[in-house]
Every structure is written in structure tokens, then in C-alpha cells.
């Protein structure tokens, strides 16, 4: 859990330095071997959602099997914002672009 909070702090610092509004994140987690239940719960919490002002999150898993397993975990630890898992970055970017377009077309 300590590592999860350190990662969140690092991302928060980057956002505070470079961005002050709502954000859409693309995070490549394909090199992560595992994530424990406590960390999954933390990343899907209201605390993280509010602190980051996340509007959408695309996670690059790297393989179809990782994506399938990740989707199971995502059903258990639902996020407060739209989240989708991808095998590759191209699909993740297309989905995020669509999320941004939808948000601004609704305004």
C-alpha cells in the first residue's frame, strides 16, 4: 500500500506542476507484476478520484490475458470515473479521445 500512495503522490505532483483542471489519464501498467487488494481499493477510491480530478482512465495492460484478469478486478473495485483496460496504447488513446470529445460535446 505504501508504494501505491507513493505512486499517487508522484502523479499528483506532476498534475499540480503541469495541469490544474480535470484530467484524463493513460497509464501503462504492463510492467507491474501484481497489485494487492488494498492498493486496488485505494486507486479506485473517492480520495484518488477527487484529488486527481480524473474524468477518464485508460490502463494499458500489455496482453489480452492481463486485460481479462484486470477487467475482473475492475468489476470488484469500480472507479468513480470511466475506466477501461487496453492491450496497447493506440486503443487507449482512441478511447480517451472519444471520452474527451463526448464531455465537450455535452457541455
pLDDT per residue as tens digits for the range 41-72 = 888 888 887 887 888 899 999 999 999 998 99
Task: Please determine, for residue 106, whether its predicted confidence score (pLDDT) is greater than 70.
Answer: no
**Does 38 or 1 have the greater pLDDT score?**
38
Beta-bridged to residue 83, according to DSSP, are 57
The predicted pLDDT at position 26 comes to: 92
Number of H helices, E strands in the chain: 5, 3
The predicted pLDDT at position 30 comes to: 92
pTM of the model: 0.80
Contact 51, 77 (CB under 8 A): no
The predicted pLDDT at position 48 comes to: 81
If DSSP codes are grouped into helix, strand and coil, which group holds residue 58? strand
The predicted pLDDT at position 107 comes to: 58
The predicted pLDDT at position 68 comes to: 93
Q: What is the pLDDT of residues 7-29, one digit of tens each?
A: 888 888 888 888 777 888 899 99
Amino acid at each position: 500500500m505504501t508504494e501505491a500512495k507513493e505512486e499517487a503522490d508522484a502523479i499528483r505532483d506532476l498534475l499540480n506542476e503541469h495541469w490544474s483542471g480535470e484530467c484524463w489519464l493513460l497509464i501503462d501498467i504492463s510492467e507491474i507484476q501484481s497489485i494487492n487488494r488494498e492498493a486496488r481499493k485505494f486507486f479506485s477510491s473517492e480520495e484518488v478520484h477527487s484529488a486527481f480530478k480524473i474524468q477518464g482512465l485508460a490502463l494499458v495492460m500489455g496482453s489480452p490475458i492481463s486485460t481479462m484478469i484486470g477487467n475482473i478486478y475492475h468489476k470488484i473495485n469500480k472507479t468513480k470515473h470511466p475506466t477501461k483496460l487496453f492491450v496497447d496504447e493506440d486503443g487507449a488513446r482512441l478511447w480517451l479521445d472519444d471520452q474527451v470529445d463526448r464531455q465537450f460535446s455535452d457541455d
